[in-house]
């Protein structure tokens, strides 16, 4: 009963309709990365992936041109759950899906990007196929996922495997149209900081952050979602807080959130242990 309640709460947050049986075939197909990859390990933890997803959305909202594409061409503000669900499926399909599924979703998203153009809030032209903007999205996602995994999964990633993750994800980012992506954690952090002069915390970004802080949900899901959202804010790089007019979180606040995440993490992970990653392992190994 508890497992089903947890799964229902998670569907409330990101959608989903049942067991991921599409990941069971064809037998033996390792997909783009395979079970031995670091990406399979990092992306398997729902808790840290949701926390990283929230922080990456906050970071992405700070770039006027990256935000403009979402602002003008998506239902993000009216259907946050749908947006998160589509993003979750893209990550699942490209990380764990069989090769054909992964290739199809990459082709589909790249085609959609060709139609996303316009002017940002300063009147500057943008295109979702711009390698510079695609790199920003890629950098903020990979950094956020790794940071959340280290903080909330509490599993040590040695420096070699940590860099291997960014090398693996570089191959995906370049297939999405980004160029000259870094292949180490340290260089990813440096690449993100190079964007700081381009960032802007205006009314559009404020509305996105307000939406993430007040995630639409029913009463049953609200405490869980509120906690995940707060952890997402604590997962931001330190230089972001002055930019968005927030105090840097204290040690005690971070400790309280981590302890709270620890309390919910075990039952959530148990409820989701037969998820996409488990189904995909059965596809590869039988």
**Distance separating alpha carbons of residues 21 and 201, to the nearest angstrom:** 42
Residue 283 pLDDT > 90, yes or no?
Answer: yes
> H/E element holding 145?
helix 131-148
From the CB of residue 100, how many other CB atoms can be counted at a distance below 10 Å? 11
| Tens of pLDDT, residues 24-72 | 999 999 999 999 999 999 999 989 999 999 999 999 999 999 999 989 9
Residues listed for the chain = 286
| Tens of pLDDT, residues 80-127 | 777 778 888 999 999 999 999 999 999 999 999 999 999 999 999 999
pLDDT of residue 4: 57
Please state, rounded to an integer, the average pLDDT across all residues of the chain.
Answer: 90
Q: Are strands 117-119 and 125-127 parallel, antiparallel or unpaired?
A: antiparallel
β-pair partners for 119: 125
268: burial class by Cβ within 10 Å (0-12, 13-18, 19+)? buried
Residue 8 pLDDT > 70, yes or no?
Answer: no
| Tens of pLDDT, residues 91-101 | 999 999 999 99
CB 198 within 8 A of CB 124: no
CB 257 within 8 A of CB 284: no
**Distance separating alpha carbons of residues 35 and 56, to the nearest angstrom:** 25
Lowest mean pLDDT among 8-12, 225-229, 250-254: 8-12
For the entire predicted model, the pTM comes to: 0.92
**Distance separating alpha carbons of residues 14 and 85, to the nearest angstrom:** 4
pLDDT of residue 5: 55
CB 105 within 8 A of CB 90: yes
pLDDT of residue 220: 64
Q: What is the DSSP letter of 68?
A: H
| Tens of pLDDT, residues 152-202 | 997 889 999 999 999 999 999 999 999 999 999 999 999 999 999 999 999
pLDDT of residue 155: 82
CA atoms within 13 A on the CB side of 253: 11
CA 127 to chain centre: 21
**Distance separating alpha carbons of residues 154 and 124, to the nearest angstrom:** 42
């Amino acid at each position: 009963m508890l497992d089903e309640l947890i799964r229902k709460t998670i569907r409330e947050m990101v959608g989903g309709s049942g067991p991921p049986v599409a990941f069971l075939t064809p037998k033996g197909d390792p997909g783009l990365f395979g079970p031995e990859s670091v990406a399979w390990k990092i992306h398997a933890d729902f808790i840290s992936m949701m926390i990283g997803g929230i922080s990456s959305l906050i970071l992405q909202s700070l770039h006027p041109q990256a935000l403009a594409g979402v602002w003008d061409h998506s239902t993000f503000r009216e259907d946050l759950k749908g947006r998160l669900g589509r993003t979750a499926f893209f990550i699942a399909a490209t990380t764990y899906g069989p090769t054909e599924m992964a290739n199809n979703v990459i082709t589909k998203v790249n085609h959609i990007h060709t139609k996303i153009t316009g002017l940002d809030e300063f009147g500057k032209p943008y295109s979702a196929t711009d390698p510079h903007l695609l790199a920003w999205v890629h950098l903020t996602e990979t950094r956020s996922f790794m940071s959340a995994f280290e903080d909330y999964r509490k599993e040590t990633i040695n420096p070699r495997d940590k860099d291997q993750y960014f090398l693996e994800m570089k191959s995906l980012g370049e297939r999405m149209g980004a160029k000259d992506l870094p292949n180490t954690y340290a260089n990813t952090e440096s690449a993100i900081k190079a964007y700081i002069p381009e960032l802007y915390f205006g009314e559009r970004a404020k509305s996105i952050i307000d939406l993430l802080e007040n995630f639409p949900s029913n009463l049953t899901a609200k405490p869980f979602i509120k906690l995940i959202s707060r952890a997402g804010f604590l997962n931001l790089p330190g230089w972001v807080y002055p930019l968005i007019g927030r105090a840097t979180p204290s040690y005690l606040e971070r400790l309280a959130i981590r302890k709270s995440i620890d309390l919910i993490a075990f039952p959530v992970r148990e409820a989701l242990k037969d998820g996409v990653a488990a189904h995909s392992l059965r596809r590869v190994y039988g």
